[in-house]
Structure 1
Amino acid sequence: MKHFGIYRKLILIIGTATAVVSVGVFFFMEDILFRTLFISFAFVFLCGLLFLMDFLHNRYNDNLLEEITLLIEALVEQQERMVFSEAEDTLTARLQHQLLKLRNILKAQNQMLTQEKEQIKTLISDISHQIKTPVAAANTFAQLLGDTGLSDEERSEYIATLQMSLEKLTFLTNSLIKMSRLESGIIRLKPEQNSLNDIVMQAVKTVYAKARDKNITITFDCGQTFEALLDFNWTAEAVTNVLDNAVKYTPSGGVVDLKITEYPSYLRLDVSDNGIGIPEEEQAKIFGRFYRGKQSAGVDGVGIGLYLTRDIVNKQNGYIKVASDEKGTTFSLFLKKFREQ
């Protein structure tokens, strides 16, 4: 019944013409018998047209409902089937367009929920794996310390190993707490006027001992004070994470260089090292939660630092970039510049 509109117009035209002719015959035809027969015929003819119109209308509605049913079934079965031609600006075509649009939205949301579910499963698995190792080590050495036959040297060694396991567990727990607080919004960053130089120096002090143990030189030659809109403590945490990574992945005797560059709206902090570099295929993944690259095997860490750094920087209207090759890696933090009102 694709041509129902044409049939309806044709029936209306014929019906109207019949009615007009009947009125003319009624008023102008003098032959009563002919007039009566004609009017009777016209009445029967008009009734036939009405029945035909009703029949076609019912057929049209049935076909329309059947096509809409097919469209809905296709949507339920996640098939993108075009039942009505979208070349025509009709109500059914617009309805089909909106239903397909709704289907795509629901499909995207479903995919997002599936991804979030997988992320939660992965998160729980990663947390369990990360916690299991230090807990198992601590439990093992705690039991060994109960042996009364241990020598003083063995006892000292076991205590040192136990302390390292507890420190790793404490670090992991603190990192998870920071991550959950940031993600849940329990802690809100409060950007205010702060010296980026002071924040960098705070981060350098934090990792200095680790750099000294590896004979790594940290350089930060900056004769100008740069002011930025930052939360001091959380930004220091972000810079420390990047700087700590640079020290961890730079071989002994290497160099880590820090440099601040001023732009009209941003301050750019570059943390550069001459370490092992990051493979190109991993550079887009390193900011993921708990992600650790192939070259991180044997290096302490849980894969939260860069994830936290990006989150902290993003929450202060900044962003972070990475560039890496076989000669080393540079992380660039773009931080909102402070401007006098």
Structure 2
Amino acid sequence: MQFLESVSLASYTTFGIGGPARWFAEATSEEDVTAAFAFAGKRGFAVFVLGGGSNLLVSDQGFAGLVLRVGLRGIRQDGDVFHVAAGENWDAFVSHAVNLGYGGVECLAGIPGTVGATPVQNVGAYGQEVAETIVSVRAYDTTLEQFVTLTATECGFAYRQSIFNTVQRGRYVVTEVAYALRPHAAPHLAYADLQRRFPAGSQPSLAEVSETVREIRHGKGMLIVAGEPDCRSAGSFFKNPVIERTLYERIAAKSEGPVPCYPAGEGQVKLPAAWLVEQAGFPKGFGEGPAGISSKHTLALVNRGEAKASDVLVLATQILQGVYKKFGVTLEMEPVVVA
């Protein structure tokens, strides 16, 4: 295991933005993970764990500690449970499962990043969430300084949340995730975009649904394709907010047309962040500087070539303030900001 100095982080992120890491190392085994924390501990450095870099905005100053890239690889199948190393490419694993005829993650195709990131964000799209299939998560516990296995319940999954990005942020380094998938399953077609592609009565295969999801994501600029102008982003930059129904009713009363929403528990609804952003005056293609809104999807902020993290944050703040001023709704940024 090598510890490198002053490594630029821009090339390790889908945004293509970021200053240098003071130290950088890649772990290809669990022993490497413990060695990295020992190295940082002796020097008093903080550690930032890097996966696929698809949900990050790294500051222009970089990171003053050790950036540990998780590169553990391997897939082991035990019956209907797949034990997948954290460094495996997520979309490649989806394809692997679908090709074997296993359902449960087919709608999560095309999402960039690594397997290790999926329980952290409780990754979800097109009507599925990884929380529905995760059995357990193996991780290095930096508090106990040992490896532990957490059940799905212990992970505390909620919408785009887990203990890994909330109450226990920074405590665990995910090294393996176990997913219980369904053999010979029918694909999940709950999401409106998929129902339009596959009307009632049709019986698409898991592979057809996965490929359709990739096509939809591509059309929205949410598929990382080298050389395409709207692909240097962190995906959806804002989470869909969950608000009180009373606030929704006030927004609807002032709106000239229908306000889209989805049920989110008793007395609450979830609003599409993309609708809020656009209605607040920030359409697709907005922005004249190096950072702007994708021409394909309102929620994707993009690096048009030479953007800095500060450019993205200025634009994000402008959008946040505009949405709050018009609707009284506070949006939450989805990418992790590394400083």
Superposition TM-score tier, normalisation by shorter sequence? under 0.3
Q: More helix per residue: 1 or 2?
A: 1
Bigger strand fraction: 2
| TM norm structure 2 | 0.23
Larger radius of gyration: 1
